[in-house]
Amino acid sequence: MSPRRNYPKNRRPDTPEREISTSNQSFEEHEDGDYIVRKITGSSSTKPYRCPGCDQMIPMATPHTVAWLDGDEDGRRHWHNGCWAKKAHRRPNTERTRNAPRY
Ligand SMILES: [Zn+2]
């Protein structure tokens, strides 16, 4: 289903891909799919977003992470950098049967 994968480690600068021309975009494999991940700087963040990781707002002008499933750019979500990192480090076979930690 998904077209060629473009791993950041093997980025070929002279190969035109469907990727938008951003240098801060990368590709990550997660337990629930393959994600395109883009780091947003504070200056390019012009409106607040709700982070799906913690259900809190990401204020304007805050550096954060935008991620979407490969091939589903319409479904992209905005994450706090820390929340995205936590998602990335989650393992499929741990935490699943335990209660979510309370903060
Ligand atoms: Zn968050």
Q: What is the C-alpha separation between 81 and 23, in angstroms, rounded?
A: 17
65, part of any domain: yes
Distance (Å) from CA 15 to ligand 1 centroid: 34
pLDDT in tens, 65-86: 999 999 999 999 999 999 999 9
CA 60–ligand 1 middle distance (angstroms): 14
pTM metric for this prediction:
0.65
State the distance from the centre of ligand 1 to the C-alpha of 51, rounded, in angstroms: 5
Residue at 62 is within a domain: yes
Instruction: Confirm whether 94 is domain-assigned.
Output: no
- Cα–Cα nearest to 53, from 42, 64, 62: 64
Q: Which helix (DSSP H) or strand (DSSP E) does residue 82 occupy?
A: helix 81-89
**Gap between the Cα atoms of 87 and 65, Å rounded:** 12
For residue 84, the enclosing domain spans 19-88
**What spacing in Å lies between the alpha carbon of 23 and ligand 1's midpoint?**
24
The predicted-structure confidence for 8-64, as pLDDT tens digits, reads as follows 565 555 544 444 445 689 999 998 899 999 999 998 888 999 999 999 999 999 999
Per-residue model confidence (pLDDT) at position 23: 63
Per the domain annotation, does 77 fall within a domain? yes
Distance CA 80, CA 82 (A): 5
Matching residue, tokens 């750019």: 73
Total domain count, the chain: 1
